[in-house]
Amino acid sequence: MPGPEAMRKVLVAVLDSGVDDTHPDLRAAVDPKASASCADGRPDARTGSWRPDPGVEESGHGTHVAGIIGAARDGQGVTGVAPGVRIAAVRLLGPLGQYYAENIVCGMLWAADHGAKAINDSYFADPWKYNCPEEPDQAALIAAVGRAVAYARRKGAVVVASAGNDGQDLGAARTDRRSPNDRVTGPAPTRYLGTECIRLPGELPGVVTVTAVNRDGSPSSYTNYGRGRISLAAPGGDPDGGAEGAIVSDWPGGRFAALAGTSMSAAHVTGAVAVAAALHPDFGAAQLADLLARTAAGCPVRGCGDRGHFGVGLLVVPR
């Protein structure tokens, strides 16, 4: 593990529901000068703007993700993959509980302009579970988020995203029964989608997209997968496994929670990018992503088939 001085030079951004920087595990990690809210589509850097809104459902999610990445190694609470790293807490989630494109674009540009070496995206862009380029409104969302991701990558950030928790093959035709998820009445129509319809930002070019595995290395039952659509696999946990099977991390108010999902696996990869950046401060985004690909472990369980669940393999934190 790199020394404290090397780790402190690395900034990673957590684009999420907000981060509680008063949590003992995260007080020293969150950098107020690099943190902001993009909950209304424009950056708000006022003190505390990046903290979660307790009135919004699942507002503790970002604190949990941040803990996986960079919780302090002080013998208390939990320890992150990259203790000592600086975290840019960027709240995307507004009062409607949605991660809209304007929130994502704002957060991506903020993180890139503040020098983030990795940007963690443990969400999908609302209101469409998958965006289809033949639909003009969805094509506009693909273009907007795609430009923001490309900008962040040009500025030197590795963009890491969760693969999703629908148990679907991203490389095959599939159904979507929840979009648009901001409708006010009635059930969502069933959409029959082709492979051209993509999850944002996880299926955009150059994004490191992460699936989830259980403690034994087997694919988690909920994880999305797909040959050619996945970069790496990392620990995401078993939602039915309790504290022993899920991923324990920080929760607002100084508490802890055991969660499972590709959100957690993406956070593990973002932490590994931070370690790699501290070890190799001269590396750009492409070199850091390539290092993770080269150091990944091979297929960890029998029956991996075409590696659709693992991409290049299982995450190994660089040393």
State pLDDT tens for residues 108-153.
999 999 999 999 999 999 999 999 999 999 999 999 999 999 999 9
Q: How confident is the model at residue 300 (pLDDT cuts 50, 70, 90)?
A: low
Instruction: Work out the number of other CB atoms within 10 angstroms of the CB of residue 117.
Output: 27
Q: Report whether pLDDT(295) > 90.
A: yes
Q: How confident is the model at residue 4 (pLDDT cuts 50, 70, 90)?
A: confident
Coil vs helix vs strand at 212: strand
- Cβ 235 vs Cβ 266: under 8 Å: no
Beta-bridge partner residues of 251: 255
- Cβ 206 vs Cβ 153: under 8 Å: yes
Q: How confident is the model at residue 24 (pLDDT cuts 50, 70, 90)?
A: very high
Helix then strand then coil, % of the chain, to nearest 5: 25, 20, 55
In the chain, the amino acid numbered 151 is Y
Beta-bridge partner residues of 258: 248
Mean pLDDT of the chain: 95
Rg (C-alpha) for the chain, rounded Å, is: 18
Q: Report whether pLDDT(308) > 90.
A: no
- Cβ 221 vs Cβ 167: under 8 Å: yes
CA-CA distance, 250 to 24, in Å (whole number)?
9
Alpha helices in 251-318, H assignment, sequence order: 262-279, 285-295
